[in-house]
Structure 1
Amino acid sequence: MTRSLELTRRGWLKSAALGIGAATGSMSGWLRALASEAPKKPAKSVIVLWLNGGPATIDMWDLKPGHENGGPFKEINTTAPGLKIGEHLPKLAKHGKELAPVRSMKTKEGDHERAAFLLRTGYTPQGAIQFPAVGATLAKELGSESADLPNFVSVAPARYATALGGGFLGPHFDPLFVGDQTAPQDGLKVPDLARVPGVTDAAQKARLELLAGVENKFGAGRNSPVAASVQAATSRAVRLMKPEAAAAFDLDQEKQKTRETYGRGLFGQGCLLARRLVERGVPFVEVTLDGWDTHQNNFDRVKELCGTLDAGFASLVGDLKDRGLLDSTLVVCQGEFGRTPKINAQTGRDHWPASWAVALAGGGLKTGQAIGKTTKDGLAVEEQPVSVPDLIATVAKAVGIDPQKQNMSNVGRPIRVADPDAKPIKELL
């Protein structure tokens, strides 16, 4: 055989079936062909950095220098050629090759609660349907019900967190809440994980068996979400009490330098906790940074908040990369909407869902680029509008989930992971 065969996976199998798979020459050619066709391993975890209140993304990911709507902030270069972001995110700029701002988000909900519901579920409220949070849906698809750690963790949730539950998927997909915005001094420790002093292994086992018996007897014959919720909470608490599971929440195991790099506040330490959780197989973690409702004094507040975000986000991306986890972890930085390009009389920006941005990192996406474009004044999307279902479909595809997969709702109507009209952002996948 004198001719060279350029073998693809399908072609090689066909040739082998015909008995002519022994092509002459080195095997390296078809091995390279197979490698080039092999799909990237899908991400297994998602971390959402939730910027509560609606961040002024025009001052962060999509600046308008030289226009009166642009304000005083400047752009800075990132490590990705041609990709620029706001000057108050210098640490994140060093990870530009791992970033992908989506600058053409376009939605209709300008109310905090409704917009947060949309971003967290992918749907607007519809009658009696109890939509699950995206975190719950992804936890169901990616997680394990027998895992000691919860499949969905929400760190320091703030207002408008009512759309974070398991919805029609059930209470066992509710998140574990860790940390409290109103009491940041309490940190991120999960209370009551340690056994009460003096309780032996045998006594603990007997107590748990007694509790399980009471719960099972009460729940028998009752199709009660309350009973199911109590049983799910008990089961989760018992598994969390195992030393290996409890250790995931012990940030004292980290080097002090690492903790300082992330930032000592609730958000920075929450980002560090998120890394520890995905490292141990938790599929979905949300970390909240509150305070972005900047109707007044927008620029001073955004500068301060960006300092916190920059330290936590950049450290998270760098840490995941150093540990070989960035390709298997998708980071999504978003709020419920953006803020007006026009600056108001209080040097603030108001609610603006018509043209805003989110930022993605890792997850095996084609990063180092910006997606979409807004007009020079920032008032409208000029190229490639992206809806919330489009964003959720992109996230789902990145972690290996079919966005059109259906789950039966509490009203007997099948609901897809993402709206049927959703179009994943092909340039990222």
Structure 2
Amino acid sequence: MTDQEHSSLCDPQAHFGRRTLLGRTLTGCAMTGRTAGGLMMSSIARSLAMADETGLTDPARPKNVILLWLEGGASQLETFDPHAGTRIGGETNAIQTSVAGLQISDLLPQIAEQMHLCSLVRSVTGKEGDHARAVYNAKTGFRPDPTLRHPSVGSILCHADQRGSDIPRHISILPESSPARGGYLGAAYDAFKIGDPASTVPDITARTDDNRFARRISDLSDVVEKEFRRGRLAKMESMRTLHQSATDSALKMMSSEQLDAFDVSSESKMTRDAFGDTPFGRGCLAASRLIEVGSRCVEVTLSGWDSHVANHSLHRSAAGTLDPALASLLTRLKDRDLLESTLVVCGGEFGRTPKMNAAEGRDHWPHGFSILLAGLGMRRGVVYGSTSPNPKLDPNQPLADIENPVTIEDIHATILTAIGIEPSNEIETPIGRPMKRSEGKPITEILMA
């Protein structure tokens, strides 16, 4: 296998903070990454080099992200890091994968056949054990801050690369209670939310004849919006209300042929069955179709992992939905030559405790769980980090049972690097506060050189 050359230059929307610019200029060439390797250019040099070296400027090969969000916190022991036959292994068995020496849960037999396409991180750690706070941390790469709302990965990607499509570029399918948000980048970068792709996208068909619809739109633009703008601040539309831009986007979407990408019923029964006859399976199929026509980040949510009771039966059910959908998604992206330009990420807000509770369940566990990454910028058939099959579970040393621990922030820095965005870049919030894209360090061991 030949690794695809990878670029991690900064994005054109970045703000070069005084500390960043001065520090990099004075140091000239510095070592970067988790391990020594690769010279860091100055921020100015990186910016000048971007036009030639980053895929973000190549209109024929945009970079995309598909996030499969396992809401509730999937158990690493029942998915990607089984310790079968040990005191913590539970009822799950391990099966061999397409990577020599790598085993995953027997609940994921189809994914096991696709692991040669993936990088697997088994040593992810976080500092949040509450669902809401951990979800925020996992989706933004930052812990909750009462003074600021941070953007999700899809929002960062769409902000860095402004190329558009007729349909939304950032989409959350089956978003439950935590759709991806634009944060301080603004509501324009919030994900467009839809439910089960078995149903049509709501409110996209005019309810009157063409002439009457045209008159209504004219009245909306020439009368209603004109009155709304009276007495407002000059930038109220672009910075706050987004009334006119939302209307324009909706009208463009209503008449676009790209809208057909939401309709998975046009696929053959064989294709639909391969993904699974479930909302999540259809969501993954829709995600591949949407990426193909111009969407840049699609998030698909699968709930059912919060197993405080009956852990194994809950995971058997949820894994039965995940397995065909993820395996078929990887196969389809590869067959359509989209895997090299699309990063697939599969994970949740935390893992589950190694020790079973009295209700045969596993509780929240941010100390050593798994995240799968595949495609754009990732090495294939690689495992990074591990957890102990016989953990001491010392509450004072939660990382003692983990080899090569990484943080949620490191995962975000790795994702941003893979899609061509420099994690340490600073951009300004609306109040002028400089914020880094990520506080983490890329996991160089799983990234293509």
Output the TM-score relative to the length of structure 1.
Answer: 0.84
Counterpart of 1:129? 148
1:210 pairs, out of 219, 230, 243, with 219
In structure 2, distance between residues paired with 1:304 and 1:191: 29
2:139 pairs, out of 106, 113, 120, with 120
Q: Confirm or deny: 8 A CA contact 1:57 1:357 kept in the other structure.
A: yes
2:201 pairs, out of 164, 177, 190, with 190
2:181 pairs, out of 165, 177, 182, with 165
In structure 2, distance between residues paired with 1:215 and 1:407: 32
Counterpart of 1:428? 446
Deviations 1:305-347 (A, max 9, x none): 1110001100100000111111111110010000000011111
Counterpart of 2:193? 177
The alignment status of 1:76 with 2:102, answered yes or no, reads no
What displacement does 1:231 show? 3.3
In structure 2, distance between residues paired with 1:357 and 1:67: 18
1:402 pairs, out of 422, 439, 442, with 422
1:85 aligned counterpart, secondary structure:
strand
Check 1:338–1:242 CA distance in 2 against 1; reply closer, same or farther (3 A cut).
same
In structure 2, distance between residues paired with 1:322 and 1:412: 45
Deviations 1:195-243 (A, max 9, x none): 225224xx44443233233325424633547952433432321121023
Counterpart of 1:47? 66
2:433 pairs, out of 397, 413, 429, with 413
Check 1:188–1:410 CA distance in 2 against 1; reply closer, same or farther (3 A cut).
farther
What displacement does 1:254 show? 0.9
Structure 1 residue runs of 5 or longer lacking an equivalent are 1-37
Deviations 1:61-114 (A, max 9, x none): 111123211112111111111221111111111111112111000111000000
Counterpart of 1:325? 338
Check 1:143–1:305 CA distance in 2 against 1; reply closer, same or farther (3 A cut).
farther
In structure 2, distance between residues paired with 1:112 and 1:197: 44
Q: Confirm or deny: 8 A CA contact 1:297 1:348 kept in the other structure.
A: yes
Counterparts in 2 of 1:133-282, with a 5 A limit? 133-144=152-163, 146-159=164-177, 161=178, 164-179=180-195, 187-200=198-211, 203-213=212-222, 214-215=224-225, 217-219=227-229, 221-222=232-233, 223-224=235-236, 228-282=241-295
Q: Confirm or deny: 8 A CA contact 2:152 2:181 kept in the other structure.
A: yes
What displacement does 1:187 show? 3.3
2:360 aligned counterpart, secondary structure:
coil
In structure 1, distance between residues paired with 2:199 and 2:426: 35
What displacement does 1:127 show? 2.5
Aligned residues: 380
In structure 2, distance between residues paired with 1:198 and 1:227: 32
In structure 2, distance between residues paired with 1:282 and 1:402: 21
AA aligned to 1:50 is: W
Percent of pairs with identical residues:
39
1:298 pairs, out of 302, 305, 311, with 311
Which shows bigger deviation, 330-339 or 222-231?
A: 222-231
Q: Confirm or deny: 8 A CA contact 2:107 2:316 kept in the other structure.
A: yes
AA aligned to 2:350 is: F
In structure 2, distance between residues paired with 1:319 and 1:198: 39
Check 1:232–1:173 CA distance in 2 against 1; reply closer, same or farther (3 A cut).
farther
2:320 pairs, out of 285, 307, 311, with 307
Which shows bigger deviation, 78-87 or 103-112?
A: 78-87
Check 1:169–1:40 CA distance in 2 against 1; reply closer, same or farther (3 A cut).
closer
Check 1:142–1:57 CA distance in 2 against 1; reply closer, same or farther (3 A cut).
farther
Structure 2 residue runs of 5 or longer lacking an equivalent are 1-51, 57-61, 394-398
Output the TM-score relative to the length of structure 2.
Answer: 0.80
Q: Confirm or deny: 8 A CA contact 1:104 1:385 kept in the other structure.
A: yes
Q: Confirm or deny: 8 A CA contact 1:69 1:342 kept in the other structure.
A: yes
Q: Confirm or deny: 8 A CA contact 1:154 1:285 kept in the other structure.
A: yes
Over the aligned positions, Cα root-mean-square deviation in angstroms equals 2.1
Counterpart of 2:130? 111
Larger radius of gyration: 1
Q: Confirm or deny: 8 A CA contact 2:172 2:299 kept in the other structure.
A: yes
In structure 1, distance between residues paired with 2:78 and 2:226: 54
What displacement does 1:412 show? 2.1
Q: Confirm or deny: 8 A CA contact 2:166 2:256 kept in the other structure.
A: no
Q: Confirm or deny: 8 A CA contact 1:219 1:227 kept in the other structure.
A: no
Check 1:216–1:107 CA distance in 2 against 1; reply closer, same or farther (3 A cut).
farther
Q: Confirm or deny: 8 A CA contact 2:198 2:264 kept in the other structure.
A: no
In structure 1, distance between residues paired with 2:245 and 2:71: 28
Q: Confirm or deny: 8 A CA contact 1:117 1:124 kept in the other structure.
A: yes
The alignment status of 1:390 with 2:390, answered yes or no, reads no
In structure 1, distance between residues paired with 2:365 and 2:202: 39
